[in-house]
Amino acid sequence: MTARLTIHLDAIRHNVATLAAIAAPSRTLFAVKAGAYGLGMVPVARAGLAAGAEWLGTLEVPAALELREAGIRAPLFAWLHGEHTDFRAAIEAEVDLGVSSQAELRRVAAARAALPARVHLKVDTGLHRNGANPADWPGLVAEALELVDAGALRIVGLWSHLADASPEADAAALAEFHAAVAVAGALGVPLEGPDRPLLHLAASSAGIREPEARLDLVRFGIAAYGVSPFDDVDGPGLGMRGTLSLHAAVIEARDGIAVLDVGSADGVPPSVLGPSGLGAEVLLGGSRARVLAVGIDTLTVEADAAPGDAAIVYGPGELGEPTVEDWAAWSASIGDEILARASTRLPREYLD
């Protein structure tokens, strides 16, 4: 046995179906950004669509184009763009584009694709990552409407990101968003009828706990991968299942010490042994074994074992192994980081 990663597509389907049921009647967007948090974008995206997601979110245009090249025809949304983003290719592939400023809007319009661009205008409601501030919002909307009249684009969405700082902050951001939507309506964006744009604001946190923020579409990210967005409950407590397992094998053992064939180069965070380390463990021989050292290629644990014995560094937790959320806590990190660290050098198996 050698080290390997297992991606549990059945868990992806379970989680997406559960979240889609929570969000209904709002539509569900499944975020597969960062290569589906390191799990592999195309197979994970297909699993999410099979479970009820209607949209996919990729963050960047090249990832959306990769999904199109794989034959995925579902609505795609990309919203973070660099100066060299190929907007023409995105428009011709019918990728919806988040637009945060008039400068960005002009670049989209200048792409001169054969189709009108499908844009979602973004207002900043407090996260300050991108999006037009309230003072610039009317200008963005007005220029977009001029480009609609010129046949260069369609306004298919109005949206924002919540900072998820607190329920009170989210409520204030929701009020700001509704005010921005009202401004757009006053300027001429239709807010009724079949041509009205989708309104979307909530991601995993608000999508689960704040029904008033679900609007037309909920963008589920980390919760769909089995990791809770909350501090007071873990993924299983939300009805989610773990989606990634890291398997290893003992390559050397003596005097109650075993060395496994995975290390920091495979995504095991060395910070579990730093000042904030809280006692990381793996499952070995049916019992938890304490981590003593994290090397680039090895993981040393305290256990009586023999070469070839199987270990699980983390997984769904159904066999008693630690979970991704356990490793996040031990390394003073977050579940997103543990998932995204999963090494591309390890063999992968997709359990369907």
pLDDT of residue 128: 73
CATH code of the domain in which 204 resides: 3.20.20.10
The answer to whether the predicted template modeling score (pTM) of the entire model surpasses 0.85 is: yes
pLDDT in tens, 88-128: 999 999 999 999 999 999 999 999 788 999 999 999 998 77
Question: Over the stretch 201-254, which tens digit does the pLDDT of each residue have?
Answer: 999 999 999 999 999 999 999 999 999 999 999 999 999 999 999 999 999 999
> What pLDDT is attached to residue 22?
97
pLDDT at 26: 98
Does 168 share its domain with 302? no
- Give the CATH number of the domain where residue 329 resides: 2.40.37.10
Percent share of the chain, pLDDT over 90: 88
> Structurally, how many domains does the chain consist of?
2
Which domain range does residue 295 map to?
244-351
Is 219 within the bounds of a domain?
Answer: yes
Question: pLDDT tens digits for 160-195?
Answer: 999 877 888 899 999 999 999 999 999 999 999 999
236 located within any domain:
no
Residues contacting 344, CB < 8 A, separation 6+: none
- The verdict on 287 and 178 lying in the same domain is no
Both 93 and 151 in one domain: the answer is yes
Q: What is the pLDDT of residue 129?
A: 78
In a domain, 235, yes or no: no
Task: Say if residue 78's pLDDT is above 80.
Answer: yes
In a shared domain, residues 193 and 124: yes
Q: With 90 as the cut, is the pLDDT of residue 6 above it?
A: yes
